[in-house]
Structure 1
Amino acid sequence: MHVDEAIQTRKSVRRFLPTPVDRAMVEHILAVASRAPSGSNIQPWNVHVVAGAAKDRLCQRLLDAVDHGRSDTPEYHYYPQNWFEPYLERRRRCGFGLYETLGIGRGDKAEREAQARRNFHLFDAPVGLFITMDRRLEAGSFMDCGMFIQSVMLAARGQGLHTCPQAAFAWYHTLIRDELKLDENALLLCGIALGHEDPDAPENHFITQREPVSGFASFYG
């Protein structure tokens, strides 16, 4: 797959087929993604791969925590504390568009919560990747990890697979740290669902909009 096609067809898939993804494929994707750049080549990312019984056990613990209202305060702020434009409108457009595609009304709290709950069994994906970095590193390592995460998703597309990056797991870092026996310095950044897209799922036909180049780029000279 040409890199342009991989980038243009990457999307957040929210329903996967049960088709397994073998360990050799996951290792290949991670090996390709490991070529992502990082400051002074420190490669700050760590990946914790769950599948099979390990994935089922973690997901069950997460779902129990969600259902009983037990969550953490995230260890970093993903979103601004006070939204402002144009970012607020873009966020609303994304959320409203997804729920409209699913036929969930804006006032249907129960269905919206049920859809959000699906995050915690990785949207049925057979493989989950949890990305951490050492909390003693600085903001530049967040950028490095972001480039690595994008590389993982593009390498997956190159193999005909799809992904969904999920920041929702940051609200359950204590549980995940315990289940995966992570070091206390491991800062959980996100999870990534990995697998084969369910092409019949309506949510997988929702494609988010992008600003034109003229809307975000300035040219000099």
Structure 2
Amino acid sequence: MRSRFSVRKFLPTPLPPSDIRGILEDAQAAPSNCNTQPWTVHVVSGAARDALSKELLKADEEKRFSPDFSFSYADFGEGTYLDRAHEHAATVYQSVGISRSDQASRYAHARENLEFFGAPHAAFLFMPAFGDGVRAAGDIGMYAQNFLLSLTARGLGGIPQTMLGQYADTVREFLDVPKGLKLLFGISFGAADLAAPVNGFHMGRAPLEQSVVLHDTPGVLDER
């Protein structure tokens, strides 16, 4: 868990089918509300991966955004969450030598999401529209964490990508997915290019004191 990180540059070599099946079987073991297992996962590789990437890039150029779920930095409000998001963005761009004022390079780097950062495979995680969607989305998150940890355990890597979910209609049409299934996000995966500077940093995590409140649970936050 502590060695996992989001890979932003992959080697192009496809994974063996046995590895992909093992990763999917590990992910399938995730818990879910009432054992509904509400995930439908589409994996693209090879020619399908390349063709879908072209469609996503075209949709981005034409500003055909079609997210099933909203995303905006403004939703983070002022303070802790927005500060963390800004720190993350600054760290990523600094790793590849892009300045804050270089908007063209920032945009070009963001579009690498739509090329799956060079990964040979990408998985798209769809969910049914149960109620307000929160419980199903939580289940998808646990599935995705299993998926990512299985990659790490095999010496591989992945990255969950909100940006892939911004073009849900494009993905649904290309993959022939029913409209009733909503795209939460995608995961690009494969072998990490460990020589790439963008893979040379790991984002830190907040200390427990910032996120955990203990009640009659003494000693947990004592200094070691």
TM-score scaled by length of structure 2:
0.92
Gaps of at least 5 residues in structure 1 are 1-6
Q: Give 1:4's aligned residue.
A: none
Q: Give 1:75's aligned residue.
A: 68
How far apart, in 1, do the equivalents of 2:87 and 2:54 lie? 31
Q: Give 2:163's aligned residue.
A: 168
Residues 184-206 of structure 1 show CA distances to partners (whole Å, capped at 9, x for unaligned) of 11100101001001011111012
How far apart, in 2, do the equivalents of 1:175 and 1:148 lie? 23
How far apart, in 2, do the equivalents of 1:203 and 1:71 lie? 27
Instruction: List structure 1 segments (4+ residues) > 4 angstroms apart after TM superposition.
Output: none
> What is the CA-CA distance between 1:82 and the residue it aligns to?
5.5
Q: Give 2:196's aligned residue.
A: 201
2:88 paired with 1:112: no
Task: Show the 5 A alignment for 1:1-221.
Answer: 7-72=1-66, 74-79=67-72, 81=75, 83-137=77-131, 138-221=133-216
| Identity within the alignment, % | 36
How far apart, in 2, do the equivalents of 1:41 and 1:61 lie? 35
Q: Give 1:3's aligned residue.
A: none
Give 3-state SS (helix, strand or coil) of 1:8's partner.
Answer: coil
TM-score scaled by length of structure 1:
0.93
How far apart, in 2, do the equivalents of 1:16 and 1:30 lie? 19
Residues 110-135 of structure 1 show CA distances to partners (whole Å, capped at 9, x for unaligned) of 10001001000100000000000112
> What is the CA-CA distance between 1:71 and the residue it aligns to?
2.1
How far apart, in 2, do the equivalents of 1:82 and 1:89 lie? 9
Partner AA of 1:54 in structure 2: A
How far apart, in 1, do the equivalents of 2:42 and 2:167 lie? 15
> What is the CA-CA distance between 1:68 and the residue it aligns to?
3.0
Does structure 2 retain, via aligned residues, the 8 Å contact 1:136–1:185?
no
The count of corresponding residues between Structure 1 and Structure 2 is 214
Residues 61-87 of structure 1 show CA distances to partners (whole Å, capped at 9, x for unaligned) of 111222233322x22124553622110
Does structure 1 retain, via aligned residues, the 8 Å contact 2:128–2:136?
no
